[in-house]
Each structure stands twice: as C-alpha cells, then as structure tokens.
C-alpha cells in the first residue's frame, strides 16, 4: 500500500556520474526497448550507494573499521542541537552516516568531482517517527552535524521508543534503475505500459534491490512524493525493527535542496505490506 501520491521525479541529476552499465544489462534493454529507445532508458540510470552490515559489527554503537556509519544506535548530537521530536515525542534514529566515508566509497570528494551531491564531511543523521502516524511525509528529520560529539541518549519525555540496536555498515557504489512506478520510464512507452513493466522486472533481476540504499531510484512500492527523489531507503528487516505491517521506510528530497545541501524539508515515506 503506497502512502504518498506517485508523481514525476527527475531522472539523472545534472553532472551526475553513473557507473558503467554491464553489457548483459545493455543487451536486455535493447531487446525490450529497441535500438531507438535503449539510449533513453540507459540515460535514466542513477548512481547510488548500497549500505551493507559490517560482518561481526552488530551492536558496536561507535561504528567499526571500514564502516561508513551505522544504522540505529544513539546519535552523536553536538551540544546545542535538540533531539528531533514529532507530536511531542522523540524521534527514532534510523541511521548515522559518515559523509567523508560515503564520498570515498562513491569515488568522489566534492560536488565538482563526479557529481557527488552530499556534504563532504560531518555526519548525516536520519530520524523518523516510529509510530508512522503522519501520512503527509512530515514525520522525519535529517540533520547534517559536525563529527566528534559523543552519543546522546533520548530525552526522557514523551513516549519515544527505545533506540534500535547499532548496526555498522559499509558502503559500495552501485547502479540503480527506475521501476515501472517511475513515470520517467513509463512515459518512454506511452503505447504499451507492459514493455516498461517487463523491462523494469528484467532490470530488477540483474540489479537486485538491497536492504539499504542511499540515493539512486526507489526500490520499494511506497509512493513517490511530488518533485522529490530518494535520499535513503531502509527495509525493516535489516534493523529488526518492529513497525507493525510497515516493511520499509524512505527519505525523499528535491533536486534543488539536494544540490544546496538543505535537509530541513526532507519527506518521509513508508510501505505497508
């Protein structure tokens, strides 16, 4: 069940550096789309980072060697930065990511070297309302803070949930393809939607969906908020989170805010099984 209205988002961002498309993927695109449309399909591909748990790193709140941050745990909030709240209760930390480690994994160090769109240093903290009570996409907060602050416990107010177990993650660059729900792909085949559907299924088989993806295209059946692209997607299983029938959550940002490094208007999405 989609929780946000599906609308257009942009395709590849200006200056975005996309990894090479494997030969077998290029062949299946030509087989489905034909020689004329195949380049347009390939032009929709985006670069992303897949975040996988570090073997043996579970429960290490401070991260581990070779990690790009962690899922869960307690946030390293600097003094003077309030713990985000929603409807009077503390939000839950879903991820704390090391911007420098992410840029290194992507093979870039700044916006002018390969189109890396995120900050070059500091931490990105992803919070959300674990009650999943808001259907307008406002039940989340993303903070960009300097690194080095100690972990901070949640304030003893409201009815926030306990912290999720810390899961250090490592980052690897990966291709990301649109799904049949993304209109950028659908509108290439206005006379036969089934071509877009079959092509999306082919691409999913060759570019499997990870449990956690940063940037790229949306891998889930959540709705796409208008004018936004995915920033972070997390399946509930990787966190062992109890969100009832919710199977994944996502964070969304506009191209303009992403380019400017503004995270105060990030939107929240989630999928109900």
Euclidean distance between CA atoms 230 and 236, whole angstroms: 17
CB 19 within 8 A of CB 173: yes
Whole-number pLDDT of residue 10: 39
Q: What is the rounded CA–CA span in Å between residue 154 and residue 112?
A: 37
96 contact partners, CB below 8 Å, separation of at least 6: 69, 70, 73, 75, 76, 123, 124, 125, 126
The pLDDT of residue 193 is 87
Per-residue pLDDT at 243: 82
d(CA 141, CA 249): 13
In 3D, which of 106, 92, 120 has the Cα closest to residue 213? 106
Closest by alpha carbon to 176, among 33, 42, 35, 2?
A: 42
User: What's the pTM?
Assistant: 0.88
The whole-number pLDDT of residue 8 equals 36
Per-residue pLDDT, 208: 80
Q: pLDDT (tens digit, 0 to 9) for every residue of the chain, 273 residues total? A: 333 433 333 344 444 678 889 999 999 999 999 999 999 999 999 999 999 999 877 655 655 557 999 999 999 999 999 999 998 889 999 999 999 999 999 986 544 445 789 999 999 999 999 888 888 889 999 999 999 999 998 887 555 567 899 999 999 999 999 998 898 998 999 988 899 999 999 999 998 889 999 999 999 888 888 889 999 999 988 988 888 888 999 999 999 999 999 999 999 998 887
The CATH code for residues 23-272 is 2.30.320.10
Q: What is the pLDDT at residue 17?
A: 76
- What are the boundaries of each domain within the chain? 23-272
- Is the Cβ–Cβ distance between 11 and 165 less than 8 Å? no
């Amino acid at each position: 069940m989609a929780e946000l209205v599906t609308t257009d988002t942009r395709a590849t961002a200006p200056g975005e550096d996309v990894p090479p498309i494997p030969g077998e993927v290029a062949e299946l695109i030509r087989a489905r789309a034909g020689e004329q449309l195949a380049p347009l399909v390939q032009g929709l591909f985006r670069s992303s980072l897949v975040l996988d748990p570090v073997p043996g790193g579970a429960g290490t709140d401070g991260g581990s060697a070779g990690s790009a941050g962690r899922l869960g745990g307690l946030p390293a909030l600097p003094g003077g930065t309030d713990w985000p709240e929603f409807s009077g209760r503390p939000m839950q930390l879903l991820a704390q990511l090391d911007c420098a480690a992410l840029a290194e994994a992507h093979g870039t160090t700044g916006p002018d070297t390969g189109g890396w769109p995120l900050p070059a240093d500091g931490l990105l903290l992803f919070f959300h309302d674990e009650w999943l009570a808001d259907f307008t996409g406002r039940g989340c907060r993303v903070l960009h803070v300097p690194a080095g602050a100690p972990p901070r416990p949640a304030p003893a107010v409201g009815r926030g949930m306990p912290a999720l177990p810390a899961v250090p993650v490592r980052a690897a660059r990966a291709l990301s393809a649109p799904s049949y729900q993304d209109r950028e792909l659908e509108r290439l085949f206005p006379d036969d939607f089934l071509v877009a559907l079959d092509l999306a299924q082919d691409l999913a088989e060759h570019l499997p969906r990870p449990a956690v993806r940063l940037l790229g295209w949306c891998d889930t059946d959540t709705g796409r908020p208008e004018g936004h692209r995915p920033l972070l997607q997390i399946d509930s299983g990787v966190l062992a989170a109890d969100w009832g029938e919710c199977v994944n959550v996502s964070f969304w940002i506009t191209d303009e805010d992403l380019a400017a490094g503004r995270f105060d208007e990030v939107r929240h999405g989630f999928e109900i099984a």
